[in-house]
Structure 1
């Protein structure tokens, strides 16, 4: 197997996901060492077109994506075919997980940009917990309301920024396409009440969403320098909490 690195994801997408890949790479190494199995079983709940699933399959792991969108699953299959890897694709949502997949069969479950949209976040996490083996890990990535307030204010939408701070779901209004957002404390609490031990929270896209893409395209080494900045900010006690997304692991 080979490590997932920035070179495998050129340009801006690498900047936006570098912190998550750093954490996942460490998790995979730990699980391989703990189980003695080079090929881990991974479920990507709501994995869409395979942005994480295909690279994980390319590392040699057995990856299953469950997603409600047939169009996304078709794009996933094309992406996997182009990469020359196999990814199992199943249509369904969080409520279907326990019917679609066996209990206790996964080493890692990805729950990335899912909890914002499901009707019952706690129920979804409990369903994912049931898929994991003892010692398994859930990777949760969710939108952060503090970042939404910051971004609305930068756009001159000051009333909407204030609404984000006042709204219990972290929404800026009725036209907000995101049904809910999660603070660091809310994610840690959600994992705790669903039977997980929360790990360290990392901020994802602290600066990446604020930097014009032309600065990355026109300056040699700029993307790599921004990745290094994102990696430093991911665990900064202040900057972490204003990231666009928050990433946290839950341990069984």
Structure 2
């Protein structure tokens, strides 16, 4: 909940600051999962295309879309496919906003994927990435008292996620250089889950959840806190 809510607020701030009020945007959500962000944007009036490879996830997304009112359903298109094949499904410059959240950690070499996503953007379009923070991998084991795990995490960008999968993280400096190289230089970045990364999966929301979100939101845009967040939310702009 914290991740989805914070990313939505940060994304809304970027969209509001970049596009005219009331403009209906063309949005591509690559690796949309269950469609949480896609539906939120569709409810705001935008035309959203979601791409998802996992059959279970896209089935859940279809069920979520089907439960929406007709006007919102009409603004959502779902495509089952690999995010690396956007050039097969769409023309360059077809979208104002491209989301790629929680995907890069599963891609061994993300440069080709990112270049393809940048090509999907119209001039001035916004590329939104959510990645595991490779500069803060020692934080979770360290705060949990796993000192050996913390020491091992300093010298790697590989880690095992909560699903038990061996994946990789991304460093801010590396992605900043990559975004510049693909013509969508970094415009803004945030930390996500500065204080709540060690919360257990399925934990109930606290009674003061709004205060929690306010603290996370403030930390996510403030140095030095955002630099040790579990996740990084990077926003590049197509030049």
TM-score (norm 2): 0.88
**Structure 2 residue 91 is matched with structure 1 residue 105:** no
- What is the DSSP-based 3-state SS (H/G/I as helix, E as strand, rest coil) of the residue aligned with 2:226? helix
Are 1:164 and 1:172, in contact at CA under 8 Å, matched by a contact in 2?
no
Root-mean-square deviation over aligned CA pairs: 2.2
- In structure 1, C-alpha distance between the alignment counterparts of 2:221 and 2:32, rounded to whole Å: 25
Q: Equivalents in 2 of 1:50, 1:126: separation in Å?
A: 23
Distance 1:82 1:17, change over 3 A: same
Give the structure with the larger helix fraction.
1
Report the TM-score, using the length of structure 1 for normalisation: 0.84
Counterpart of 1:55 in structure 2 is: 40
Contact 2:4 2:37 in 1 (8 A): no
**Does the 8 Å CA contact 2:4/2:36 hold for their aligned counterparts?**
no
Residue 186 (structure 1) aligned to one of 165, 174, 180: 174
CA distance in 2, matches of 1:177, 1:115: 14
Aligned to 1:198: 186
CA shift for structure 1 position 177: 2.1
The answer as to whether partners of 2:51 and 2:79 remain within 8 angstroms in 1 is yes
Q: Which residue of 1 aligns with 2:119?
A: 130
1:45: how far off? 0.5
In structure 1, distance between residues paired with 2:167 and 2:197:
20
Q: Which runs of 5+ in 1 are unaligned?
A: 1-12
Answer yes or no: is the 8 Å Cα contact 1:46–1:111 preserved in 2. Answer: yes
Corresponding position: 1:140 with 2:129:
yes
**What residue is the counterpart of 1:26 in the other structure?**
13
Tell me by how many angstroms 1:146 deviates.
4.0
Conservation of the 8 A alpha-carbon contact between 1:106 and 1:132: yes
Measured against aligned partners, the alpha-carbon deviations of 1:43-67 in whole angstroms (never above 9, x if no partner) come to 0011111010011111111101111
Deviates more, 1:119-128 or 1:16-25: 16-25
Alignment match, 2:85: 96
Q: Is the 8 A contact 2:108 2:168 kept in 1?
A: no
Encode CA deviations 1:211-252: one digit per residue, 9 max, x unaligned.
Answer: 5745x43x3xx1000111011101221110111100110111
1:22-56 per-residue CA deviation (whole Å, 9 max, x = no partner) reads 221123224441xx862210000111110100111
- How many corresponding residue pairs? 231
Q: Secondary structure at the match of 2:36?
A: coil
Instruction: Report the equivalent of 1:67.
Output: 52
Alignment of 1:155-234 (within 5 A): 155-167=144-156, 169-171=157-159, 177-210=165-198, 213=203, 216-217=205-206, 219=207, 222-234=208-220
Residues 172/157 of structure 1: CA separation in 2 closer, same or farther (3 Å cut): farther
